[in-house]
Amino acid sequence: MSQIPQPQKQTFLVVDDHALVLDGTLSILKQAYPEVDILTAQTAEEALKQTEQTDPDLVILDLVMPDTIGETAQANSGLQLLKTLMELHPKLNLVVQSAHTRTLIWLKSTIDNHMGGFTVVDKSQPVKDLLTMVDWALRERTYTPKEIRNGLQLKPAWMQVLQFAFQESLQDTAIAKRMNVSERTVQYYWSKIRDVLEVYPDEDKNLRIQTEVRAREAGLLD
């Protein structure tokens, strides 16, 4: 009699050089995700090494940290780490937890091209907001602060998705065929479109309808 395969245990990596913040984040995550293995790193070098060795399902990181042990924490190190993670692991789910989220504007094009979940939460926000951003990132959704967006700028491929969906009434499978991409790629496009349009999950609202309404209000559809 064959054994039923067990679901693979998830792994999170939390990167922060402040011990108190790190301990607080770990406590919150362990309570919300008791079955998850949670690893830690306090430098950019250690974070890259841990990511390569463990292939985590999610990385939560600050933007200000030292490159290596003994060095001074700086924003450039965190931004470079984030950029490197996105380039080496284009489908990695990421949560930026920082008091310096405005600096993400320097990585906007890289963030736009990232295919994994990508969410941002300020350290001053309530615990529930962190947990929401973790949940969304694991679901491969995108949420970036308004201050790092440059207006309603949608890439041509994102505009095509809107047109196929709301002008030709196509479902994602058909859109994927028309665009000659995978259905996963279409779902990634939707995540980016909704972030630009500020349409986020709401239990009481239909995401697709809300996206169409917002796109028409913004003049992106005839």
Over residues 140-191, the pLDDT tens digits come to 999 998 877 766 677 889 999 999 999 999 999 999 999 999 999 999 999 9
Check residue 166 and give its pLDDT: 93
CA separation for the pair 53, 49 (Å, rounded): 6
For residues 136 and 130, what is the distance between their CA atoms, to the nearest angstrom? Answer: 10
SS3 18: coil
In the structure, what pLDDT confidence band is assigned to residue 1 with cuts at 50, 70 and 90? Answer: very low
pTM recorded for the entire structure: 0.81
Fold of 156-217: Arc Repressor Mutant, subunit A (1.10.10)
Q: Which two tokens stand for residue 181?
A: 């991409």
Write out the two tokens for 41: 């790193």
Residue 3, pLDDT > 70, answer no
Architecture label for domain 11-148: 3-Layer(aba) Sandwich (3.40)
Strand partners, 33: none
Residues 6+ apart with CB under 8 A from 213: none
pLDDT digit string (tens) for 27-62?
999 999 999 999 999 999 999 999 999 999 999 999
Which class for 151: exposed (0-12), middle (13-18), buried (19 or more C-beta within 10 A)?
Answer: exposed
Higher pLDDT, 106 or 117: 117
Q: Does residue 114 sit in helix, strand or coil?
A: coil
pLDDT tens digits, 13-30:
999 998 888 899 999 999
Give tens-digit pLDDT for 191-220: 999 998 989 988 888 999 999 998 888 888
Q: Is 52 helix (H, G, I), strand (E, B) or coil?
A: helix
Q: What is the pLDDT of residue 6?
A: 53
pLDDT at 150: 63
State the Cα–Cα distance between residues 145 and 103, nearest whole angstrom: 11
What integer pLDDT is reported at residue 5 of this predicted model? 52
- Average pLDDT for 87-107: 91
Is-same-fold flag (11-148; 156-217)? no
Other beta carbons within 10 angstroms of residue 84's beta carbon come to 15
Domain ranges for the chain? 11-148, 156-217
Give the whole-angstrom CA distance, residue 188 versus residue 209: 18
DSSP assigned state of 144: -
CA 207-213-216 angle, 5° bins: 135
How many Cβ atoms sit within 10 Å of the Cβ of residue 137? 26
pLDDT score for 145 = 84
Alpha-carbon distance 54 to 31, whole Å? 22
Give the pLDDT mean for 109-137.
94
Contacts 24+ apart (CB under 8 A), 162-165: 162/193, 162/211, 162/215, 162/220, 162/221, 163/221, 165/208, 165/212
Report CA-CA distances (Å) from 85 to 177, 183, 190: 30, 24, 22
